[in-house]
Each structure stands twice: as C-alpha cells, then as structure tokens.
Amino acid sequence: MAARLASPGTLFRTAVKVNKPLQIPGAVNAYTAMLAEHSGFHALYLSGSGVAAASYGLPDLGITSLNDVVEDVRRITRACKLPLLVDIDTGFGPTAFHIKRAVQEIEAAGAAAVHLEDQASVKRCGHRPNKQIVPEDEMVDRIRAAVDGRTDPNFVIMARTDALANEGIDSALKRSKAYIAAGADMLFPEALNELSQYKIFSDALPGVPILANITEFGKTPMFTTEELAGVGVGMVLYPLSAFRAQSAAALKVYDAIRDKGTQSDVLSIMQTREELYQHLGYHAYEEKMDALFGKK
C-alpha cells in the first residue's frame, strides 16, 4: 500500500519546527507562488489585501467574499506544493456557522492554515489607524468555531490580535493567552513596533509559534530574521513584498510604452520568454504534445 501523503497542515507545522524562523512570502496568484517555490521557500501566504487588490482592484476593507478568497487558494494550491497560510480576516460572517464554513472551504481548497483576527467585521488594514476591536469573549468564540470547522486536526488555526494599537500590550497579551486557551495553534500579534514586544509574547506563551508581520511601509520596522529569531519569533511574514515590486515594475513599463512608443528601455526589468518557460515547465508540455500527437 502506498504511503499516505502528509496533509498541508502537517507540512506547515513541520516547516515551522524545522526553520528558525520560517520565512513566509506572500503570493497573489499561482505563478508568483511557483516563483517563490523555485526560490527555495518552504511555505506561502495569501493576503486578504492581496486578493482584494490583485484579483479585484479593491482596498483591504473587508469587501471581498469567502468565495473570492477560496478561488485564489484553489488556483495557488493546484500549481504549488508549498503549504499555504491564508488570511480569512474576521471569518466572513457574523456567526459561528459562517466562520466554521470559512475554515471548511479554505481547508477543502488545499490550504494548510488560516489566521483569524479580533477586529470588528467592518475591518481595516492592520497598519492603519482607527481599528475597532471586538470584545475578548467574542474573539474566543470565533476561535472555537474555527477549530470546530477543521477536518484535519493538523490544519492550523492562527489567532491574530490587533489589540496593541487600541488597548496596549498588556491587553494584547491577555487576549492572546485566551485565544490559545480556546484552541488557536499559533499567534499573530499585529503591528508591533519593538523587538522587545515580540519577546514579551514568546516568553509568556512558551511553545506557541509567534508570527512577525514584516510588511513594508507599516508600523513594524524591517527587522531581520536573525533579530526576530533572537526574541523567539517562529515565523516571519512578507505579505505583499513581491506584489509591490511587480506593481511598480508594471507601472514603469506602461509609462515607458505610453511615453516613448516602445518598451526597449525597460527590457532589463522584464523576465525573458525563456525564463518564463523554465518556471512553467513549458517545454515538458510541448514534449508531451509531441508524444501524444506526433510532430507535424
């Protein structure tokens, strides 16, 4: 009998244990997921902001739906073997049944993990002002619903708290302990601004993997993996780094074509046709066509 393959959740948990810390880059579509895999990463991330901006041209204000996210999850997991952590915002609905269904749909689409946050349903980007936080017991109920929704016990439920900005670190830590007690496997304290703050969380929650969100142009400085490992961080997230670079490059190319009538001056920032083919495995597809139908 063939050996049973490890589940995505198991792969993610193993990656967290093996890598100190685990670097998790964001991918906004299947092809960028493949590029990240080819660069040697061991896990990937799908950002709610990335789904909104890249797939729908919308801001990160809770406008996209569960189905919108599930479709992008499905596309990425079909193209890439790396375990995928998915942002499900506040759970896509006001009730425990909505949250349970969200976890079930994301897991069924091939993801390894989700993170669920304690913002109000009308949410904002975690690095923007005026965030509103739900009461602690409401978030505890969200976590319990998420845990109840998973089929694979190794599928990861990660709790994100945005409480630092509104309530301070003592409250954020108190909430985090309650979220872990409710069944969350890992913790994502959002928008920390000092290394010492990460150490407070890791010291207070021994054995609980802590994620640091090193997003650009936000509240958190560009701490290195070495610095973060030194304060007990187990995962480092780069949610939109590649997307920001892709977007800047695309705008430069569009401007050049519009202004100069040619793209000749920006060829140096483009991926070549052959590089594209290499990452896609294009030639193997052609060889299969030749084997099936013969060269003509």
Residue pLDDT, tens place only, 113-162: 999 999 988 777 767 776 889 999 999 999 999 999 999 999 999 999 99
CA–CA dist 104, 69 (Å, integer)? 13
Claim to verify: residue 264 and residue 168 sit in the same structural domain:
no
Residues with catalytic annotation?
A: 45, 60, 87, 89, 115, 117, 125, 160, 190, 213
CATH number, position 228: 3.20.20.60
Residue 10 forms beta bridges with which residues?
none
Domain span at 17: 8-239
Claim to verify: residue 263 and residue 231 sit in the same structural domain:
no
Strand order in the sheet with 235-238: 22-25, 235-238, 211-213
CA–CA dist 95, 205 (Å, integer)? 28
Claim to verify: residue 215 and residue 286 sit in the same structural domain:
no
Does residue 72 contact residue 44 with C-beta atoms inside 8 Å? Answer: no
**pLDDT tens-digit map of 229-286:** 999 999 999 999 999 999 999 999 999 999 999 999 999 999 999 999 999 998 998 8
Claim to verify: residue 256 and residue 235 sit in the same structural domain:
no
Claim to verify: residue 83 and residue 218 sit in the same structural domain:
yes
**β 211-213/235-238 pair status:** parallel
Q: Give yes or no for residue 101 having a pLDDT over 60.
A: yes
Claim to verify: residue 178 and residue 78 sit in the same structural domain:
yes
- Rounded to whole angstroms, what are the CA distances from 56 to 28, 63, 64, 242, 286? 11, 10, 8, 18, 33
Claim to verify: residue 255 and residue 134 sit in the same structural domain:
no
Domains in the chain, number: 2
Does residue 140 contact residue 111 with C-beta atoms inside 8 Å? Answer: no
Q: Give yes or no for residue 203 having a pLDDT over 90.
A: yes
Claim to verify: residue 105 and residue 15 sit in the same structural domain:
yes
The pLDDT, as a whole number, for residue 108 is 98
CA–CA dist 254, 263 (Å, integer)? 8
For 165, the token pair is 């900005």
Claim to verify: residue 140 and residue 260 sit in the same structural domain:
no
CA–CA dist 150, 239 (Å, integer)? 24
Domain-located, residue 1: no
Domain-located, residue 2: no
Per the document, the length of the chain is: 296
Domain-located, residue 128: yes
Q: How large a percentage of the chain has pLDDT more than 70?
A: 97
Claim to verify: residue 141 and residue 262 sit in the same structural domain:
no
Q: Give yes or no for residue 167 having a pLDDT over 70.
A: yes
Residue 46 confidence class, pLDDT cut points 50, 70, 90: very high
Claim to verify: residue 62 and residue 166 sit in the same structural domain:
yes
The pLDDT, as a whole number, for residue 295 is 66
Mention every residue, 6+ apart, whose C-beta is less than 8 A from residue 13.
154, 156, 185
